[in-house]
Structure 1
């Protein structure tokens, strides 16, 4: 009888546990936000961002940091993907003589942030976990030295590139891990020479993929993760995530993307004493440049040197951008201005925007990768140039160990798990 009673109690307990578990699961599911996108739309948009950014990166990779005259001398007026006759570098390409479609750190950062978001599997991203993710990635690269011998020069060179890619980030991340202000200030003061670099812009656009139709949430999360940015660069990085978020559900309405530059300001930059919101002044400058450049269409503008630029309006836009250069091509405000100008000038057309940015020069793989991410999310994968997307996917998979399709699928599954979907 005792055994029978015990079994009854166990049976009842299991039933209650199962019912409670079922209630908990239903409650959790009911608490999920409802997406405005269908699952198929999300898949198209996510893949559009991942591949669109890689296309921009690949178009700019052969001439990253080149002067405009040098681009034209070597490649002419760039309208597509091309092979690379440049040196390898930690932030650049990792293999010499890459065929058309190869990419740089701009695509590697998208892979890193997607991996991090998938590990988190949450709409609330943890800053400490992000810095630890970078620490672990760096240390995994560094530990490869232990298995190498002095005569393995090729493997040593490849490992050097990977370690040096994250070395600056590792120093800052260690200070964050210590949770002490002075080490963090010191590390940030020397991060890439203390310049206001576009650090967060390398990964922030992809953060918007977690927050379809919620650009303010995207801004907040990206701002929290902008721990490698200084000053207004934090605002610009966060805005790139907000623009991506808005682009996912814009339905072809450019204003839905552009309005976040004014409407999304949870940190109160517009109320900053004496200065106001510097990132918005950059947007206003982009509008002015586009307006003046469009007015010059059809007029004769004589550059100082022979140029292959096909239209006077493009030449004028370039000249006006030249008047607003920073000391470093990868300054966040300069990057922001060029991206916005190109998108506005080309009416959000994907390929035309890429062509504008790549031929302008400066940090053109980064500007094209950022614009490619936003416009890839805006238009979707199906609207990207077919030959370009296929070539970029092929080269990254076969030569660079970055499978863009699988990367997109990882992010799609992550976002799908965090929302309720209409289909």
Structure 2
């Protein structure tokens, strides 16, 4: 059982990095432009010079999505608890500064505004209360590796406590909690149907932790995606449906809904990574979330070995060692 858990946790982390890195080239480009430029993305590519968001990243390098996830994960492992907001903010700001992130197109608008306020000693609450973007969800997959799937109240609160450094709305927290729950359910060995029920259930719990907004319900959109998948069996047709109906932009209500839809349709890390990379829109963020879920459900062995090797060497990572660190820390987060 321990080896299975190790594989699933490693799969979640590796999946996050895979989806993030493969999705770099066409990030925030329209679907048609991605297809015209690349034809079909099924390997790691440099970010194009004329993509003002992706141009900073070389082939197989992860982006700010995984970078922030690793900043948060390191803090959680060191504290064996959720650190104070000021500590999380400091760590994220240190990373931003190391990347010159306040000057270049590295951060999403909500994260940039909130972290800039933290760095200048200003109250970030005005930004937290209006943050509808996916910054909280894109970095949350490791939290699903730390907390048991059958503790949704604890998971929702933990997600909220981590998210409020930059995002404090109902949709941002609930969307992030759905991603974390999907990963947790995968680590726990739940079936896809059981995991879907878990993900839908945590939405109502988690949204109570955030500032009420008018954003579309990620829960309802995920239900719509599950229904659509019963009638659409061609991957390209379903991808087009996601792009046109759910949307693939940076809003939580779009990209989290899209990522969940991709994960449940593909149910495979490689297929999900390729679908997201060619989708158009926030390709790397959708990939980071969707492929983390698939990796958690199926284990690290389900990800092509050559891709794993490339990702580990390029980013100086060891997915199994990270899984061991997480397993060692899990008891601290799951105390009764």
TM-score, normalization by structure 2: 0.83
Q: What's the offset of the Cα at 1:236?
A: 1.1
1:362 has 2:274 as partner: no
1:259 has 2:180 as partner: no
Q: What's the offset of the Cα at 1:238?
A: 1.2
Alignment partners' CA distance in 2, 1:361 and 1:133 = 31
Aligned to 1:248: 187
Alignment partners' CA distance in 2, 1:167 and 1:195 = 11
1:138 has 2:101 as partner: no
TM-score, normalization by structure 1: 0.67
Map 1:398-413 → 2, pairs under 5 A: 404=319, 406-413=321-328
Map 1:139-288 → 2, pairs under 5 A: 139=94, 142=97, 167-171=112-116, 173=118, 183-188=123-128, 194=130, 196-216=132-152, 217-227=154-164, 228-251=167-190, 253-264=191-202, 265-266=204-205, 278-288=217-227
Distance 1:160 1:278, change over 3 A: closer
Q: Secondary structure at the match of 1:61?
A: coil
Aligned to 2:10: 47
Aligned to 1:86: 49
1:389 has 2:275 as partner: no
Aligned to 1:309: none
Alignment partners' CA distance in 2, 1:174 and 1:221 = 23
Aligned to 1:7: none
Does the CA contact (< 8 Å) of 1:213 and 1:246 recur in 2?
A: yes
Q: Secondary structure at the match of 2:278?
A: helix
* Unaligned stretches of 5+ residues in structure 1: 1-37, 145-155, 295-312
Q: How many residues align?
A: 325
Aligned to 1:57: 20
Map 1:330-349 → 2, pairs under 5 A: 330-346=250-266, 348-349=267-268
* Unaligned stretches of 5+ residues in structure 2: none
Q: What's the offset of the Cα at 1:371?
A: 0.9
Alignment partners' CA distance in 1, 2:181 and 2:101 = 35
Distance 1:46 1:87, change over 3 A: farther
Alignment partners' CA distance in 2, 1:83 and 1:283 = 32
Alignment partners' CA distance in 2, 1:202 and 1:276 = 18
Does the CA contact (< 8 Å) of 1:52 and 1:389 recur in 2?
A: no
Q: Secondary structure at the match of 1:324?
A: helix
Q: Secondary structure at the match of 1:55?
A: helix
Q: After superposition, what is the alpha-carbon deviation per residue over 1:344-396, rounded to whole angstroms, capped at 9, x for unaligned?
A: 322x1221122222211110110011011111111111221111111111111
Q: After superposition, what is the alpha-carbon deviation per residue over 1:298-340, rounded to whole angstroms, capped at 9, x for unaligned?
A: xxxxxxxxxxxxxxx33432443343356x8110011122112
Does the CA contact (< 8 Å) of 1:49 and 1:206 recur in 2?
A: yes
Does the CA contact (< 8 Å) of 1:93 and 1:104 recur in 2?
A: no
Q: What's the offset of the Cα at 1:276?
A: 12
Q: After superposition, what is the alpha-carbon deviation per residue over 1:228-262, rounded to whole angstroms, capped at 9, x for unaligned?
A: 142322211112111111111125x1122111133
Does the CA contact (< 8 Å) of 2:31 and 2:280 recur in 1?
A: yes
Q: Secondary structure at the match of 2:281?
A: coil
Aligned to 2:31: 68
Alignment partners' CA distance in 2, 1:288 and 1:63 = 28
Greater Rg, structure 1 or structure 2?
A: 1
Does the CA contact (< 8 Å) of 1:94 and 1:158 recur in 2?
A: no
Distance 1:140 1:245, change over 3 A: closer
Does the CA contact (< 8 Å) of 1:65 and 1:362 recur in 2?
A: yes
Does the CA contact (< 8 Å) of 2:263 and 2:291 recur in 1?
A: no
